[in-house]
Amino acid sequence: MAAGSWFDWSTGDLVTEAKFQDIQDSIVFIYDSDSAANTTLTNKVEGTVYFNTTDDVLKFWDGSAWQEISGVDAFQVQALVIGGGGGSGSFEGAGGAGGYISTVDSENTGGGTASNKFFATPSTNYVVSIGAGGTGGAYNPTTTGTRGSETYFASLTAVGGGNGSNGTTTIGEIGGSGGGSNNATAAIGIVNQGFDSGTGGGLVYQPSGGGGAGSVGGSWSAPAGGNGGSGVSSSITGSSVGRAGGGGAGGTDFYSPNRTAGTATDGGGAGGFDTTGTSGTANTGGGGGAGGLNTAGNSVAAGGNGGSGVVILKYPDTYTISQSGLTISTSTSGGFSVTSITAGTGTVSWS
C-alpha cells in the first residue's frame, strides 16, 4: 500500500488501519544492512526509507532494490593521526607521546575517549603534515629535550608530545602527552589526545616516565624511575598495533642504591641505565627514553629522540587516493584501501 495524502489530526480522531499504514510508510527505519531491512520490512512499498548504520547513508526502496539517496557525495574516512613524540631530557625526565586522534570505528582516541567520524568528499584537497619527533637533550651541560611537532590531516591536529626535563627539578612540558621530570608535579597531556606524565620524587635522580596516549606515565618509586605510559592499539591496518607510548625514565649507578631505569611500550623509548636513552620508534609518536648517568659522569646520559608521527587512512576501495609532497603507501583488502603517510607536508584527495 502506498502512502496516502496528508491528514490533519485532531484530538479524538480514530486511527484506522489505512491511516496507520500512512504513518508507517513515512517512518525512517534504522538497520545495519539491506538484508536486515528486507527481513523486517516485508511489506515495504516504493519510497520506504531506512538509514544504513554500516555505511552511514540513507536508502530508499525503488520497488525492486534499495538505492542510496543522492546528495553530497561524501564517504567515511577512518583516520589515525599521531603527533611526533617528545624528546627526553638528559639523564632524568622522559619524553611524552605525541597526541593520538582516531576516527576509527569502535576504537578509542587518546585519553580514553571514543572516536568520532570523519567524512571526505571527492576532488577536495586535504592538507597533511607529519610531525617530527623531538630531539633528546645532550649531556654536559644537561639540557631538556624538545617537544614533538604537530601532525595534521584536514581538521584533525595531533599535538606533539611534551619533552622531558633535564637533571634539575624543572617540570616537564605539556604536550599530546606530558613529559617526565624529577618534579613532584605531573606535566599535563592534551584532553582527548593523551595522558599526563608521572610525578617525580621532587629531588634530582628521582624521575618520572612520560605520559602515553593510553595511560599516565609511571611515577618515581624508590629506587625505580617511572615507566612510560602505555599507548593505544588500533587495527586500522588489519592487525592490532600499539602506538604513542611514553618514554621511560633514566636510571643511574651514580647514587647508591642504584636508580632503576623505566621501561616503555607501544613505540616509546626505554630509559637508559648508565647509557643513552632509547629513541621512540619512527611513525608511532613514541616518547624518547631518558639517559642514565654512570659513575664516570660522562655523555652516556644523553636523552633519546621522540618518534615521528603518522597519518593512516582507511576508506572504501571504490575511491582512489592521490597525493602531493608526501611519502605514502597503500594496500587494499576486504573492500577497503589503507594508506599510510609517513613523511612530508602536502595534500591528499580522492577520485
Question: What pLDDT, in 10s, does the model give residues 188-232?
Answer: 999 999 999 999 999 988 999 999 999 999 999 999 999 999 999
pLDDT confidence bin for 159, thresholds 50/70/90 = very high
Cell 538484508 belongs to which residue?
Answer: 35
3-state secondary structure 282-328: CCCCCCCCCCCCCCCCCHHHCCCCCCCCEEEEEEECCCCEEEEEEEE
Q: What angle do CA 284, 236, 147 make, to 5 degrees?
A: 20
Query: Residue 153's CB: how many other CB atoms inside 10 A?
Result: 24
Q: Is 32 or 62 the better-scoring residue by pLDDT? A: 32
Q: pLDDT at residue 65 above 90?
A: no
Instruction: Find cell 602531493 and name the residue.
Output: 324
Query: What is the rounded average pLDDT of the residues 248-269?
Result: 92
- Residue recorded with cell 633519546: 304
Euclidean distance between CA atoms 287 and 279, whole angstroms: 7
Band the pLDDT of 311: cuts 50, 70, 90: very high
- CATH of region 17-68, choose from 3.30.420, 3.40.1620, 1.10.10, 2.60.40: 3.40.1620
The answer to which of 74-78, 99-103, 161-165, 288-292 has the lowest mean pLDDT is 74-78
CB 227 within 8 A of CB 217: yes
User: Can you give the residue ranges of every domain in the chain?
Assistant: 17-68, 73-351
Residue type, 145: G
Strand partners, 344: 326
Q: Are 288 and 304 in contact (CB under 8 A)?
A: yes
Where residue 256 falls among pLDDT bands split at 50, 70, 90? confident
pLDDT computed for residue 2 by the predictor: 45
